[in-house]
Structure 1
């Protein structure tokens, strides 16, 4: 990759992939981070046992919005079972930079919304360390 990870995050923030809405999603979920005001909505369509399309909308800091963009690229076309298994470590790995404790809720907002959307669609993920602290 020719750009460093900070530039990569800013690129996803300024030019988000899969940004928008699906006309007829199989599931729509939204949530926010009340501590900083980040907002995120995810639309998913499924085809068989795969996530066929994903779109997100939101507003907030570069970390929350770039992570949503990166996560959308990670899940589109993948088997639902693989998407369910995604966790916090996967998000941190794709970000590629250390995240301060204060920014983790920003970084994990899209993962939380994704897991809730999957649960709404009947695809529960197992309770584990991935559950956010309330």
Structure 2
């Protein structure tokens, strides 16, 4: 597949997650909630996590922002749901590397739609948009691991 076709496909995936977000909303009960914002561009996100026995049982998000931040949150919640916390954190590390333009070794983890965001690395001002939800997840599960 040519670069232009791949770029077009990635844009379509990003816009699909933006227009039809997966896991948008809150979690009933007593979930972990992490609020974060990117004051540079105004993105604001809340990540809701239900973690039990070291497993991300449920992950949702809500907030306002650009197509990059909201599609990234949608992709992230899909990717980490049902995974052990350590895998979710490893995925976040891989995603951070991807955003820095590094070649990544997925170590058997399937990043799925997340790879569509790799082009963001070419736009340094947008990297914070893409990583906002991931940083919120890291903060939330990091606090959970300390308890």
TM-score, scaled to structure 2: 0.76
- Deviation of residue 88 (structure 1)? 4.9
CA distance in 1, matches of 2:93, 2:69: 13
Given candidates 20, 28, 31, the residue that maps to 1:26 is 31
Instruction: Compute the RMSD of aligned alpha carbons.
Output: 1.9
CA distance in 2, matches of 1:101, 1:25: 36
Write 1 or 2 for the structure with the bigger share of helix: 2
Q: Does the aligned pair in 2 maintain the 1:31–1:113 contact within 8 Å?
A: yes
Question: Counterpart of 2:91?
Answer: 86
SS in 1 for 2:119: coil
Q: Which runs of 5+ in 2 are unaligned?
A: 1-7, 99-110
Question: Counterpart of 2:133?
Answer: 110
Question: Counterpart of 2:82?
Answer: 77
Q: Which has the larger radius of gyration?
A: 2
Question: Counterpart of 1:11?
Answer: 16
SS in 1 for 2:13: helix
CA offsets 1:69-122 (integer angstroms, 9 cap, x no match) = 000000000011111222354264724241110100101101111111112223
Given candidates 26, 33, 41, the residue that maps to 1:36 is 41
- Deviation of residue 123 (structure 1)? 5.1
- Number of positions where the alignment pairs a residue of Structure 1 with one of Structure 2: 122
CA distance in 1, matches of 2:33, 2:144: 9
1:98 matched to 2:103: no
Q: Which runs of 5+ in 1 are unaligned?
A: 125-134
CA distance in 1, matches of 2:68, 2:51: 27
Assess, with a 3 A threshold, how the Cα gap between structure 1 residues 6 and 53 changes in structure 2: closer, same or farther: same
